[in-house]
Structure 1
Amino acid sequence: MNINQFQQNLIEYAATIGIDKIGFTTVSPFHELKNRLIRQQELGYASGFEEPDLDKRTHPELLLEEAQSIISIAIAYPSKMKNAPQSVKGARRGIFARASWGIDYHTVLREKLAQLELYILTHIPDARLRSMVDTGELSDRAVAERSGIGWSAKNCSIITPEFGSYVYLGEMISSIPFAPSEQMEDQCGDCSLCLDVCPTGALIEGGQLNAQRCIAFITQTKTMVPDEFRAKIGNRIYGCDTCQTVCPKNKGKANLHQEAFTPDPELVKPLLLPLLSMSNRTFKETYGHMSGSWRGKNPIQRNAIIALAHFKEEAAVPTLIELMLHDARPVIRGTAAWAIGKINTEEGLIALKKAEKKEQEEQVIEEIRKGLAFYTIQN
């Protein structure tokens, strides 16, 4: 078989099944990436969600016998939402980041990669293939950059000329010697908007992120949110888009063509109060198809409480009092206590004093006292 011709056929087939971009690279080790990852670990900037074995992350040949190439794919997702509901007093809303709009991208990209695998195996039955999306060993961004999908930007995203940085990435290691694509030149230039506006200063410098300070990471943790980040979270209940929305390369990139990622406005910009009383079962039934549900309802509910404090939503106080006094989860009780103090009603003050006498968990007592301190400061 003529591999060059088959590669062109594969590119054309990918377009017919809804893959927006496809590129190819070798299985040569990612030496520069390894040095960066070592540095990230030394500085304590890693999130902890990554594959811990740096050799597996940077040596594709270790992941598949007879590996000769990597296929990288990108699928665009929307940056705009039609008929977005308004957040108003008495009916405050949170927001899921764009990467959680529509169907979980892991599901969609795995299906596309499975279709590519079937196409390849139909024509080359003895081909060896291994696909991965996000949770695999390889760095999706490093593979995409070397495959010519886009350039690695200062905001640590891959930016494509066609779709901006609003693209999901996946890859397939292959035993077929596909010709590598040409890499794209960095086009960020002197622009530093993403670094300048990052709410928590998580973007240390162009291309270097302290994940421990990134709101997208913080909203996925399950512990108490550190004080310094609570005001920064605002009404975000999953993820953060700030470094993308300010990027000039994303201007005018609506990317509305992938129906799987069309957002349901009521789900991606949900009312906050109903989230607080949602059972695990209802949460899974309602949000289980979205990537933002992967950590379960607890972080979402904690973030919703922080959002209600951000809005100083007095209508939420009775519900927050109920959580503070009776919820079994210390993180929820504590966050509710802090939020009650931020909202600062007389009803809340009485409840905080009651909770201070009743609470046994030291972590929660600390949050109750923070809540009480707001009354001293504000009154």
Structure 2
Amino acid sequence: MSRIEEFVGKWIAAVKVPSPARGRIEAGVLCLTEQSCTFLSAQMQATLKETKVMTSFEPNPNDRNVYDHILKEFGGNAIVIVVGVPYPLTQPNGPQTGKGFIDGVAAYGEYHDQVNEILRKLAAALAEVIDFTPLQEARYVDTSPYVDRELGFWSGLGEYGRHHQLMNAALGSHFNIGTLMLGAPKGYLPEGENEAVMAKLMERADESRLFKGCRDCYACVTACPTGICGTSVMDRDRCLSYITQTKEIISDELVIKMGNRLYGCSTCQLACPYNEVMSDLGAGGVVLKQAIQLTNRSFKRQYGHTGIAWRGVNVFKRNAIIAMYNTGTLLSDSERELLAGHPFLKSYVRKLYDNR
């Protein structure tokens, strides 16, 4: 273990987890040099070619190789720290008439700000123990142009579950990923430590990417509403968490499968035996009749401090209209008239209610 890994491990262990989540923060560290970065760049190129992942939220796959960037900018020398910060996994109280469900990852605080603050403090603490000034510092929380889970895998933060999410033995899969990248000068890592890094990466490359606890478990595969768990490549366009956030047109099939979800899904995570479900936070749900009345101002006032805010009020109201239909709640004539005049919402009002 390098001195940097040892320091990060001790520092992370002392950090308080943002309330109301439980557990502790975990971290993986990559102390890169040209040799290890070249190896990982080739691994990433092969991964991007195989996965062909592309959704409206993500950049072009050809721009996602962080190791190519580090090679070009810093000659392959950099410290990359990937943290896993747990969030509360909440159990919905069933498909209640007139109620909608918000996933715990978004309901309790703005996790982008929370994780970014942890990374900022870590960078400041690390600056006191490394003997160089970083050539560049970058922090990413769910906004990285790179593949966060791949960085997490190679750093040792976790392996992949059958639900395609990163699994950590202590955290399960319900954690947000944050990445701190510090550009380093050539020679910052002693030769002996570089050899140890390469040995660890070669061993990692030979290991199974599947989390060992998943080898005889198919709970998430059975539970997934759209059948995307357990496949060799994740079809993100059919993930209900993605569907609740997209601004694209939602197919009739997926509209029905959304149930009463207003943001997120986590059905696969709720089924996973490695995850702790905080049923005491399952808070009764959102009143859908109130949700469709939200203005931009009232939405920001009510949800601006949470992870929901970034998609805006219209996506939230779209999901509420769908949840009303799926839970048997009728729009009144005045509600239907008001919503049918909205350019984003009108197609769902007409499709779901005009022929009902």
Task: Provide the TM-score with structure 1 as the length reference.
Answer: 0.75
Which of the numbers 93, 101, 107 marks the counterpart of 1:95? 101
Contact kept? 2:260, 2:323, Cα under 8 Å:
yes
Rounded Cα–Cα distance in structure 2 between residues aligned with 1:272 and 1:279: 14
Q: Which residue of 2 aligns with 1:308?
A: 324
Rounded Cα–Cα distance in structure 2 between residues aligned with 1:36 and 1:284: 39
Correspondence 1:65-76 to 2 at 5 A:
65=74, 67-76=77-86
Correspondence 1:1-379 to 2 at 5 A:
4-18=2-16, 20-27=25-32, 28=37, 29-41=40-52, 46-52=54-60, 54-59=62-67, 60-62=69-71, 64-65=73-74, 67-80=77-90, 88-89=96-97, 92-124=98-130, 126-128=133-135, 129-174=137-182, 175=184, 177=189, 180=197, 186-187=211-212, 188-203=214-229, 205-206=231-232, 208-250=233-275, 253-254=276-277, 265=283, 269-314=285-330, 316-325=331-340, 327-329=341-343, 331-340=344-353, 371-372=354-355, 374=356
Displacement of 1:191 in angstroms is 2.5
Secondary structure of 2:99's aligned partner: coil
Rounded Cα–Cα distance in structure 2 between residues aligned with 1:202 and 1:80: 21
Give the AA of the match of 1:291.
Answer: G
Rounded Cα–Cα distance in structure 1 between residues aligned with 2:230 and 2:268: 13
Give the AA of the match of 2:112.
Answer: H
Contact kept? 2:228, 2:238, Cα under 8 Å:
yes
1:77-115 Cα offsets, whole Å, 9 max, x none, are 11247xx878754xx211112221311211111100000
Summarize the Cα distance change of 1:40–1:77 in structure 2 as closer, same or farther, 3 Å threshold: same
Displacement of 1:214 in angstroms is 1.3
Summarize the Cα distance change of 1:116–1:283 in structure 2 as closer, same or farther, 3 Å threshold: same
Rounded Cα–Cα distance in structure 1 between residues aligned with 2:65 and 2:278: 30
1:322-355 Cα offsets, whole Å, 9 max, x none, are 2355x232x3122122332xxxxxxxxxxxxxxx
Contact kept? 1:309, 1:339, Cα under 8 Å:
yes
Contact kept? 1:31, 1:58, Cα under 8 Å:
no
Rounded Cα–Cα distance in structure 2 between residues aligned with 1:304 and 1:36: 37
Rounded Cα–Cα distance in structure 1 between residues aligned with 2:122 and 2:48: 30
Contact kept? 1:76, 1:255, Cα under 8 Å:
no
Secondary structure of 1:222's aligned partner: coil
Secondary structure of 2:127's aligned partner: helix
Summarize the Cα distance change of 1:88–1:73 in structure 2 as closer, same or farther, 3 Å threshold: closer
Between structure 1 and structure 2, the one with the greater Rg is 1
RMSD of aligned alpha carbons: 2.9
Displacement of 1:247 in angstroms is 1.7
Give the AA of the match of 2:133.
Answer: D
Displacement of 1:16 in angstroms is 1.8
Contact kept? 1:308, 1:339, Cα under 8 Å:
no
Displacement of 1:26 in angstroms is 4.5
Rounded Cα–Cα distance in structure 2 between residues aligned with 1:196 and 1:279: 39
- Of structures 1 and 2, the one with the larger relative CO (CA 8 A, separation 6+) is 2
Contact kept? 1:216, 1:239, Cα under 8 Å:
yes
Give the AA of the match of 1:270.
Answer: V
Summarize the Cα distance change of 1:304–1:156 in structure 2 as closer, same or farther, 3 Å threshold: same
Q: Which 4+ stretches in 1 moved above 4 angstroms? A: 84-89, 178-185
Secondary structure of 1:25's aligned partner: strand
Secondary structure of 2:157's aligned partner: coil
Contact kept? 1:199, 1:232, Cα under 8 Å:
yes
Task: Provide the TM-score with structure 2 as the length reference.
Answer: 0.80
Rounded Cα–Cα distance in structure 2 between residues aligned with 1:231 and 1:204: 22
Contact kept? 2:64, 2:147, Cα under 8 Å:
no
Q: Which residue of 2 aligns with 1:361?
A: none
Displacement of 1:254 in angstroms is 4.2
Give the AA of the match of 1:165.
Answer: S
Summarize the Cα distance change of 1:95–1:321 in structure 2 as closer, same or farther, 3 Å threshold: same
Displacement of 1:57 in angstroms is 2.8
Q: Which runs of 5+ in 2 are unaligned?
A: 17-23
Displacement of 1:40 in angstroms is 3.8
Identity rate, percent? 25
Displacement of 1:50 in angstroms is 1.5
